């Protein structure tokens, strides 16, 4: 039975809007799947916004945005997009790679291309954690930088020496 928001028949968890998006994408050629860790802090927000910029703007024709929650727990089709994608890129907020780890609970052999966003920008981690602590323009600026890097390295094939990037291991003083 549909309640107008989604399909509830048989216990299947379907987001109507998500399923419509998936259906439209599946009508075309397979696209690169773009995911983010979706973390609730500054690092997660920047990863999330970077994924949005890539899939909805800069690489709109070549990629598709995956809802992590639905891909792991739902039946709207996002997991099918991941399985059919020639490549999946997960933009992770930090070295914990939560997006990838969460996805492995549904696809145990999930093996995406991982981009650690925090290696591409820096901010005062002692000052900021909550998303609204940082001006929106600054978040968007970092997210654009991450999205540009992914576009150049993963879609345009430009080689960038990763040894020149910032470390990502933790937030201790030497690594900040």
How far apart (Å, rounded) are the C-alpha atoms in residues 111 and 43?
Answer: 22
Angle at 10 between CA 9 and CA 11, to 5 degrees: 95
Phi-psi region of 80 (alpha: psi -120 to 50; beta: other; left: phi over 0): alpha
By the rule CB under 6 A, 90 interacts with ligand SF4: no
CB of 176 to ligand SF4, least distance (A): 15
Cβ closest to ligand SF4, residue 98 vs residue 147: 98
User: Please, which of residues 29-68 interact with ligand SF4 by CB under 6 A?
Assistant: 37, 39, 41, 43-44
Cβ closest to ligand SF4, residue 16 vs residue 131: 131
CB of 147 to ligand SF4, least distance (A): 16
- 162 C-beta neighbours (distance < 10 Å), count: 9
Helix and strand numbers (H, E) in the chain are 6, 6
Cβ closest to ligand SF4, residue 14 vs residue 134: 134
In three-state secondary structure terms, 159 is coil
- Residue 81 gets which letter from DSSP? H
Q: Which stretch binds ligand SF4 (CB under 6 A): 10-18, 87-95, 124-132, 155-163?
A: 87-95
- Chain positions contacting ligand SF4, by CB under 6 A: 37, 39, 41, 43-44, 92-94, 96-98
């Amino acid at each position: 039975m549909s309640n107008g928001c989604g399909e509830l028949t048989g216990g299947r968890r379907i987001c109507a809007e998500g399923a419509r998006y998936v259906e439209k994408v599946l009508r075309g050629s397979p696209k690169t799947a773009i995911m983010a860790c979706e973390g609730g802090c500054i690092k997660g927000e920047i990863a999330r916004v970077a994924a949005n910029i890539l899939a909805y703007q800069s690489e709109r024709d070549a990629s598709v945005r995956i809802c992590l929650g639905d891909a792991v727990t739902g039946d709207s089709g996002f997991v099918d997009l991941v399985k059919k994608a020639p490549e999946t890129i997960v933009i992770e907020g930090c070295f914990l790679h939560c997006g990838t780890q969460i996805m492995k609970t549904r696809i145990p052999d999930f093996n995406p291309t991982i981009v650690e966003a925090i290696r591409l920008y820096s901010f005062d981690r002692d000052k900021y954690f909550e998303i609204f602590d940082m001006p929106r323009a600054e978040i968007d600026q970092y997210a654009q930088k991450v999205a540009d890097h992914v576009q150049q390295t993963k879609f345009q094939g430009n080689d960038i020496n990763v040894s020149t990037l910032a470390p990502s291991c933790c937030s201790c003083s030497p690594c900040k």
